[in-house]
Chain A
Amino acid sequence: MYLDMHSHSVSSDDSRATVEQYLKWIQVLRKRGNTVDGIVLTEHRKFDAHLDYSSLAEQYNVLVLKGSELDTRFGHFLVYGVTEPLTKELDFADVRMDARELMKAASHHGAFALPAHPGRFGIGLVDYMEQGESFPDVGIVELLNGGSRQGENERASDLCSQHGYLGTGGSDAHLTSHIGTCLTNFEATIATEQDLVEALHFGQFKPVWLQDTQKGAST
C-alpha cells in the first residue's frame, strides 16, 4: 500500500493546496499509471482534530489520514496517530520543544513521532547528531523527502545505513502538483491512523519514488 506520509494543505501557513486539489491530482497520477493509495496530512505545528475529510476520501477513493509536523529544538518531527490527550500534554505550537520529550510523550499516548528530512542542511537530525546530541529512541526516520535539496536525501540514507534505521517516504508537498512525489510502501493494509502507527512499529515498509509505483515496476 502506497502512502504519501508527509503533506501540507492550506491549513499549514506556507501551503497553497487544498485537500480536494491533492485528491484530484492523485487521479491525474493514477491515469499516468502510478499507484497512490493515500496521503497523510502533516500540518505545521498543529493538529486539525475537527476537520473531517472522509467524504472527500470516499469521493476520490483516496485514504486521507491526519498527523502533524512539529518544529522542535532538534528539527522537525512528523507525528502519526495524534490523540487529544497528546495535544493537551504538549503545546504543538512550541517551536523549542525537546524532540526527545516529544517522542516519549507520543509513545506514551499510542502515537508515533519520527524525524522529518533528517538530512536537511541546517535543521536535520544529522546536523544535531554531529553537534553531539543523541536520540536513543529514534529507530525510523523520513529517508525520502520530496522537498529535499541536492544531497539531503543522500545524507538521510547514509544516516539509516550507519544506525540501522528504517526509512519512510513523503512528498512534503505544499503545492498541488507535488503530492505523491515520494511515498512509503507498506506491506500492511492501513485504514486508520492507529493502523498506521501499528504498521510503523511492525517495520515492514520502505520509502519509494513515485516512478517506483508504476504498474509493472518491481519494488
Chain B
Amino acid sequence: MVMELEYDRSLYGKEHLAGPFDVTTELIQAFTASLSETNPVFIDEAAALAAGYKGLLAPPTFCTVFVSRVKLPDINLDFGKMQVHAGQRVQPRGDIVAGDQVTASSHLKDVYPKTGRSGTMVFVVWETTFRNQHGEVVADVQESFAVKE
C-alpha cells in the first residue's frame, strides 16, 4: 500500500517573512569564537576594513543562524513524533558585514517519504532567501528535515 502523506499542501507557493535581523559585530564575533575561527577578516574589524570590506565580515554560512527565527507554519504532517536536521545547502550571494540588516523569506519546497537506519521517515524541505537592507540577495539556504516515528 502506498504511503499517503497527509499535510497542508496549501503551503506550497506561500512565502513566510521574518526580520529584519541586525548583523552586529558582537554577534559575528560570538559566532566565530564558538567555531575557533582564525581568519582575521571574520574576527577583527580593522583587518576586514583593511581587506576592503565595509565592516567585520560574516563567514559565508552565518545566515543559517537566522533561519530558525522564521516562524514557519506547522505543515500538519500526519506522521512522526520528532524532527532532525537531515541536510542543508547554503549559497552565499553577497558579503554580509557588521551593520547590515537581513530579512528572510521562506517557502515549503517538498515533502516525501523514505526509509533508512532509523526506519520510515518523511523529509520536509524549506527554502529561504536572505536580503540585506538594500534589497540585495545575500544568501539562499535550503534545509531538509527528517521527521521520524
Asked if A123 contacts B115 (CB within 8 A), the reply is yes
Asked if A95 contacts B113 (CB within 8 A), the reply is yes
B40-48, B60-68, B118-126: which lies at the interface: B118-126
The closest CB in chain B to the CB of A123 belongs to B117
Asked if B114 contacts A96 (CB within 8 A), the reply is no
> Count the B residues whose beta carbon is within 8 Å of the partner chain — how many?
14
Asked if B120 contacts A120 (CB within 8 A), the reply is no
Interface size, A (range): 10 to 19
Binding site of A, secondary structure by majority: helix, strand, loop or mixed? loop
Asked if B118 contacts A122 (CB within 8 A), the reply is yes
Inter-chain contact total with CB atoms closer than 8 Å: 38
Are A44 and B117 CB-contacts (below 8 A) given A13-B123, A94-B3, A95-B3?
A: no
Asked if B2 contacts A94 (CB within 8 A), the reply is yes
Binding site of B, secondary structure by majority: helix, strand, loop or mixed? strand
CA distance A122 to B113 in the complex (A): 17
B112 contacts partner chain A, Cβ-Cβ < 8 Å: yes
Asked if B3 contacts A121 (CB within 8 A), the reply is no
| B133 CB to nearest chain A CB (Å) | 33
B87 contacts partner chain A, Cβ-Cβ < 8 Å: yes
Asked if A93 contacts B2 (CB within 8 A), the reply is yes
| B142 CB to nearest chain A CB (Å) | 12
Across-interface contacts of A96 in B (CB, < 8 A): 1-3, 120
The closest CB in chain B to the CB of A124 belongs to B117
Task: Write 13 A-B pairs (CB below 8 A) sorted by A numbering.
Answer: A13-B114, A13-B123, A45-B114, A71-B113, A91-B2, A93-B113, A95-B3, A95-B114, A95-B120, A120-B117, A122-B119, A123-B115, A123-B117
Residue ranges of A at the interface with B (Cβ–Cβ < 8 Å)? 13-14, 44-45, 71-72, 75-76, 91, 93-96, 120-123
